[in-house]
Amino acid sequence: MTNNDNPQNPMGMNPEDLAAFMKNLQQAMNMMPGGTDSTGVNWQMAMSQAKETARSGAKSITDAARKGIHDGVSIGSLWLNSATVISELTSEPKLLSRELWVADAMPLFQDLTQPVANRMSAALSEQLTQNLPPELAGVLGNAGDLMKSVGGTLFAIQLGQALGKLSGEVLSGGDIGLPLFKDQRAAFVPQNLQEFVEGLGEETDQAYIYLAIREMAHVRLFKHSKWLRDHVVSQITAYASEISIDSDRISELAESLDPNDTDAIKQAIESGAFISERTDEQNQALASIENMLALIEGWVDVVTEDATRLLPRSGAIAESVRRRRATAGPAELTFGTLIGLELRPRRLREATAMWRAVTDAVGIDRRDSLWDHPDLAPTGEDINNPAALIEKLQGKSPEADDFDRALRDLLGD
């Protein structure tokens, strides 16, 4: 029996051909920009791929877009002051090309995907090397490390392509619900924003004001609640770190791998086929993430609605934004499969209703104070039962009870 007929040889190659293939693969890896880190992931490749994709179809900022954003920010800043007690922004907004958005977004997305990328590259290396026949071990040498780099590089390419495509869809820094910047500031992608505004069929100046207010409300919240960004990122990375890889699926791929065609691996990574079914603990963690994202977006919705009451077409624009947000674009879906997490919170409608009820019952001061500390922030139970939260907010605060008790002790009552 030849090696080509050996069912234990997943690549169907004799030792000489396999050695030549591995040598060519190593040379190809060495020619790629940057290099893999200790986990086997080539993050520079991800950035390079993302920027290359972002540059396709990119256009310079037009005077019309620049003016629309400037006017929207100027008017929106004043209107927001009547809808929230959270302080207004002092820094000028960033106007980003698609390529610059990628550069700003990559550090956050690297943090979010790092756990899955690590597991993916390590599992791919382990499974492919374990499925090789023993007689080829000496021929392959450091095949495990090489395949780890291949897996990490393919993951980086997929992430880069997803981010590059996403740069053609996002309107602003907070458009996907995640805080891009550690130093919070408003940011817009004028090319995408202008294309979206012009496609609405509404008054363009009103659309710019509405969208500027949404972005600034999002940034005000994260700038005020300094704990919020780390909380969201740590929740997602903790969830991602518990994701397990389906070794059986990788083993099936290894047994049928065509060394001249990496599309099968790329497609499997992009589809999320290697990620195992969620455990009960992961489902609970995912629910917590979705609740927090829904609370953030719901608050932004209510504040934006109140701040844009003077816009005659605010309702129609809001409906267009809701429809756009309800249908994730292909790039978002790709990113979601890479880490097993959808960016659009499913409980947004319920969270928005909760914030509206809280606002009407206790006012904006008491409402916004719930973002002062993570222990004060509403929970999934509060989304389910806004009435109980309102009752708690309308009652005496623990601090007032403590003060009354201390005063009684001092007076000897």
Residue 14 inside a domain? The answer is no
Q: Is the pLDDT assigned to residue 1 strictly greater than 50?
A: no
Position with higher pLDDT, 13 vs 92: 92
Kindly list the distances between the CA atom of residue 379 and the CA atoms of 199, 286, 290, 409, in Å, as whole numbers in the listed order: 37, 14, 11, 35
Q: Domain check: are 307 and 353 in the same one?
A: no
Q: Which of 346, 375, 394 is the last residue of a domain?
A: 346
Taking alpha carbons only, the member of 294, 321, 296 closest to residue 210 is 321
CA distances from 40 to 20, 43, 110, 402 (A): 22, 9, 14, 55
pLDDT at residue 262 in the model: 59
| CA dist., res. 168 & res. 179, Å (int) | 18
Q: Do the domain assignments include residue 11?
A: no
Quick one: 156 and 216 in the same domain? Answer: yes
Q: Does residue 325 lie in a domain region?
A: yes
Number of domains in the chain: 2
334 and 318: one domain?
yes
C-alpha 132/C-alpha 140 separation (Å) is: 10
pLDDT tens digits, one per residue of 183-199: 888 999 999 999 999 99
Give the residue numbers spanning the domain of 411. Answer: 347-413
**Domain co-membership, 283 together with 372:** no
Cα–Cα separations (whole angstroms), residue 311 to 78, 295, 299: 13, 25, 19
Chain segment 95-152, per-residue pLDDT in tens? 999 999 999 999 988 888 888 777 777 776 666 666 555 555 555 555 556 666 666 7
Quote the pLDDT of residue 401: 54
pLDDT of residue 4: 45
Q: Is residue 3 part of a domain?
A: no
| Spatial separation of the C-alpha atoms in residues 381 and 394, rounded to whole Å | 18
Better pLDDT: 28 or 88: 88
3-class SS string, the chain: CCHHHCCCCCCCCCHHHHHHHHHHHHHHHHHCCCCCCCCCCCHHHHHHHHHHHHHCCCCCCCHHHHHHHHHHHHHHHHHHCCCCCCCCCCCCCEECCHHHHHHHHHHHHHHHHHHHHHHHHHHHHHHHHHCCCHHHHHHHCCHHHHHHHHHHHHHHHHHHHHHHHHCCCCCECCCCCCCCCCCCCCEECHHHHHHHHHHHCCCHHHHHHHHHHHHHHHHHHHHHCCCHHHHHHHHHHHHHHCCCECHHHHHHHHHCCCCCCCHHHHHHHHHCCCECCCCHHHHHHHHHHHHHHHHHHHHHHHHHHHHCCCCCCHHHHHHHHHHHHHCCCHHHHHHHHHHCCCCCCCCHHHHHHHHHHHHHHHHHHHHHHHHCCCCCCCCHHHHHCHHHHHHHHHCCCHHHHHHHHHHHHHHCC
The token duo for 52 is 């290359």
The answer to whether residue 4 sits within a structural domain is no
One domain, residues 223 and 358:
no
Q: How far apart are CA 191 and CA 195, in angstroms?
A: 6
Residue at which a domain ends, from 319, 346, 373: 346
Residue 46 falls inside a structural domain: yes
pLDDT range class, residue 2, cuts 50, 70, 90? very low
Q: Evaluate whether residue 22 is within a structural domain.
A: no
pLDDT exceeds cutoff 80 at 315:
yes
**pLDDT grade, residue 280 (50/70/90)?**
confident
Residues 305 and 396 in one domain: no
Q: Are residues 342 and 357 in the same domain?
A: no
> What pLDDT does residue 141 have?
52
What does the block give as tokens for 88? Answer: 């207004």
Residue 148: the pLDDT is 65
d(CA 287, CA 135): 48
170 and 60 within one domain: yes
The predicted structure's pLDDT at residue 245: 72
Q: What is the pTM of this model?
A: 0.81
Nearest to 317 by CA among 328, 332, 331, 301: 301
pLDDT recorded at residue 381: 95
Same domain, 246 and 363: no
| Per-residue pLDDT, 259 | 54
Q: Which of 287, 311, 346 is the last residue of a domain?
A: 346
Question: Could you give the CA distance from residue 326 to residue 320 in angstroms, rounded to a whole number?
Answer: 10
State the pLDDT confidence band at 403, using cuts at 50, 70 and 90: very low
**Whole-number pLDDT of residue 269:** 64
At 311, the pLDDT band (50, 70, 90 cuts) reads very high
pLDDT, the chain, mean: 80
Q: Which residue has the higher pLDDT, 341 or 90?
A: 90
| Residue of 258, 268, 250 whose CA lies nearest to 18 | 258
**Tokens coding 180:** 């891009």
Per residue in 206-226, pLDDT (tens digit) is: 999 999 999 999 999 999 999
Summarize pLDDT for 16-47 with one digit per residue, the tens. 555 555 555 555 555 455 555 555 577 888 89
Percent of the chain with pLDDT over 90: 44
Q: Is 154 a member of any domain? A: yes
pLDDT at 74: 96
Q: List, in order, residues 6 or more apart from 404 with CB less than 8 Å away.
A: none
Q: Within this chain, do residues 243 and 392 fall inside the same structural domain, yes or no?
A: no
Query: Would the pLDDT of 166 be above 60?
Result: yes
379 shares a domain with 236: no
Q: Say whether both 302 and 369 belong to one domain.
A: no
Output the CA torsion 165→69→351→396 (10° steps): 140
CA distance 22 to 39: 20
